[in-house]
């Protein structure tokens, strides 16, 4: 889905940046109240957009305050209207960057094991997915908007094959339900990477490493909402049943995560605390009992 701002919103944005006024004349005196109201509304909109983007309204570039406001507003406008396809290109670039910065596990213990478990899921529910393992003792797993799903070796050490499959299903749910894409859109809009959308090449062009890092930092610090986590839990449970796996493994995976506690590195990034893992396990247990 492509998010498009209305023409009226664009006009309000541009009007907010036009502060040039002449003296009142007979032709414009009657519209002064309307003009004032429009400026107040438009100014509020620009202020909100500028705050969201972290845009400066003055600087050392030599541009006037109004020009800077216009530039910042257009940056945000471009970023807000970036397409899903362009965002997935950004996601691919970010994942490639992460893969270079992390040690990719090889051999049968991690890479071989995950490849065997996910071989039939590289094309799942209309999505093209890819799976890798980071050689890292964090208890973590994540999925990005382009369909890349990464497990950490620390998590694999703690889980059985069926429990890992339950987590695979959960992570696929974040991709299928658009959660990963929505989180990326917010992170993109709030980062310096939005500048790329204002260029002629668009967001699909190659982003600078610093831009990717800025977006990645915003994304890392974000959390899925309770409803998003619940939706992905439900997707994961349906995934387990669909493929004839042990559905109760999702409950046992959550029980393990709850027992580990939040002291485990990476756990907070993997599983949102809203609700906590124990409550999620209880919910899965109740759903399984409703057969």
- Catalytic residue flag (residue 124): no
What is the radius of gyration, based on Cα positions, of the chain?
24
| Catalytic residue (one of 124, 171, 229, 251) | 171
Question: Whole-angstrom distance between the N-terminal and C-terminal Cα of the chain?
Answer: 35
Task: Give the span between the Cα atoms of 133 and 116, in whole angstroms.
Answer: 13
What are the residues facing 124 on neighbouring strands? 127
Q: Angle at CA 260, nearest 5°, toward 257 and 262?
A: 90
Task: Give the span between the Cα atoms of 62 and 202, in whole angstroms.
Answer: 25
Which residues, 6+ apart, have CB-to-CB distance to 275 below 8 Å? 226, 229, 230, 283
Q: Which residues have a catalytic role annotated? A: 171
């Amino acid at each position: 889905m492509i998010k498009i701002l209305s023409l009226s919103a664009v006009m309000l944005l541009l009007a907010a940046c036009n502060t040039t006024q002449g003296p009142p004349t007979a032709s414009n005196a009657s519209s002064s109240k309307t003009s004032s109201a429009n400026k107040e509304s438009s100014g509020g909109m620009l202020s909100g957009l500028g705050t969201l983007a972290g845009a400066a309204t003055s600087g050392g570039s030599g541009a006037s305050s109004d020009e800077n406001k216009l530039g910042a507003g257009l940056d945000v406008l471009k970023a807000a209207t970036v397409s899903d396809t362009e965002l997935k290109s950004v996601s691919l670039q970010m994942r490639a960057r992460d893969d270079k910065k992390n040690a990719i596990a090889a051999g049968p213990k991690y890479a071989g094991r995950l490849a065997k478990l996910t071989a039939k899921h590289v094309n799942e529910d209309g999505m093209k997915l890819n799976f890798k393992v980071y050689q890292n003792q964090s208890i973590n797993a994540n999925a990005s908007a382009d369909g890349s799903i990464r497990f950490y070796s620390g998590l694999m050490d703690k889980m059985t094959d069926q429990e890992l499959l339950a987590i695979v299903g959960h992570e696929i749910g974040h991709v299928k339900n658009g959660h990963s894409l929505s989180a990326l859109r917010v992170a993109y809009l709030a980062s310096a990477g939005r500048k790329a959308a204002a260029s002629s090449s668009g967001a699909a062009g190659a982003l600078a490493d610093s831009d990717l890092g800025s977006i990645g930092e915003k994304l890392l610090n974000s959390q899925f909402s309770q409803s998003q986590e619940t939706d992905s839990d439900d997707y994961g449970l349906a995934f387990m049943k669909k493929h004839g796996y042990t559905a109760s493994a999702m409950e046992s995976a959550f029980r393990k995560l709850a027992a580990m506690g939040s002291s485990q590195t990476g756990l907070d990034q993997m599983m949102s605390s809203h609700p906590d893992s124990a409550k999620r396990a209880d919910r899965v247990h109740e759903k399984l009992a409703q057969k």
